[in-house]
Amino acid sequence: MNDENKSIHEFDFELICEYFSSIKRQGPGSPEVTIKALSFIDNLTNESQIADIGCGTGGQTMVIANNTSGHITGIDLFPTFIDLFNINSQKLSLQDRVNGIVCSMDNLPFQNEELDLIWSEGAIYNIGFKRGINEWHKFLKVGGFIAVSEASWFTEERPAKIDEFWKNAYPEIDTISNKVTQIQQAGYIPIATFVLPENCWIEHFYAPQVSAQNKFLQKYAGNKIAEELVENQRNEAELYYKYKKYYGYVFYIGKKFISND
């Protein structure tokens, strides 16, 4: 199929996937932060079943794999990401216990109480934090853990410009204390909460995009969708540098303590 036959929608998604495939992480995070979040999880063995939901190309998944011994299923909606995920897993000789599948996070292929750990870095917002932590609860064994990172406000009040930006981008952004209450209400013991350091955004997410953007704009010179995508990313980075004392990503770790129903 040539580009003229594709719908704009399809072309948009392909471009977005190509852009984000060129960088190691598709959201803010770092190997150190993944390891820190893992340090709160104490029930894992080589029999453990782990799901990494919205795994992208697997930046954080391979870190989890190198620091645990169980089986990990990476889940992502986009085949381009999952293809790269499985290539990365193979390159690290992890293919026997780290496997990526294309699937939506609102229709997960797991049995009730099958999983020991649900992981999701910077991805639960796709169905919303509250819905995600509630819907995924049934897939965890009693005593299993959930570890998700999520955009959160650091203060009760903030400048109107950044408030508006986030209310359009993700209205569910909220304060850390409100997110912890939601974890508790969804049937987990809140085990730990910590703010991702700024280097997760700057060194690991925005800085690698600078050269990726230049290459991307050269390849798609004159393509409005590509230009808009880069413009949006640059705008988002600028807002972060300006307003980073008001918001960031926060890791929330909870432990399931009651059975389903």
Minimum distance from residue 23 beta carbon to ligand SAM (Å)? 9
Distance CA 73, CA 217 (A): 34
Which CB sits closer to ligand SAM, 67 or 184? 67
Which CB sits closer to ligand SAM, 105 or 250? 105
Binding site for ligand SAM (CB under 6 A): 25-27, 29, 54-56, 59-60, 75-78, 81, 104-106, 121-123, 126
* Residue 198 amino acid letter: E
Minimum distance from residue 47 beta carbon to ligand SAM (Å)? 24
Minimum distance from residue 222 beta carbon to ligand SAM (Å)? 27
- Of 150, 156, 214, 226, give the one whose Cα is nearest residue 182: 150
Token duo for residue 20 = 């984000």
| Other C-beta atoms lying within 10 Å of the C-beta of residue 168 | 8
Long-range contacts (CB closer than 8 Å, 24 or more residues apart) made by 187-190? 187/137, 187/256, 187/257, 187/258, 188/133, 188/137, 188/146, 188/254, 188/255, 188/256, 188/257, 189/254, 189/255, 189/257, 190/252, 190/253, 190/254
Minimum distance from residue 75 beta carbon to ligand SAM (Å)? 6
Cα dihedral 163, 241, 55, 140 in deg (nearest 10): -50
